[in-house]
Amino acid sequence: MEEGRGDNFYGGSTNRLKMELLKEIHLKDIVQLSMLEIRHKIAELEAKLNTDDEGGEWKGRYETQLEKQIVSLEEKMEKIHRNPSDRLSSIQVNITYSVSPLLYAYSDFYFFLSQFQQFAFF
Residue-wise burial string across 39-49, b where 16 or more C-beta atoms lie within 10 A, e elsewhere:
eeeeeeeeeee
Q: In this predicted structure, what is the pLDDT of residue 47?
A: 83
Q: Which residues contact 86 (CB under 8 A, 6 or more apart)?
A: 79, 80
List the chain domain ranges: 1-50, 54-82, 85-122
Average pLDDT over residues 92-103: 56
Render pLDDT for 42-78 as a digit per residue (tens, 0 to 9): 998 888 777 655 666 777 788 889 899 888 888 887 8
Confidence of residue 119 (pLDDT cuts 50, 70, 90): low
Q: Is the pTM of this model over 0.75?
A: no
Q: Do residues 9 and 17 touch, judged by C-beta distance below 8 A?
A: yes
Q: In this predicted structure, what is the pLDDT of residue 2?
A: 47
Render pLDDT for 12-35 as a digit per residue (tens, 0 to 9): 688 888 999 999 999 999 999 999
Q: How far apart are CA 117 and CA 122, in angstroms?
A: 8
Q: Tell me the CA end-to-end span of the chain in Å, nearest whole number.
A: 112
54-82 helix and 86-119 helix, angle to the nearest 10 degrees: 100
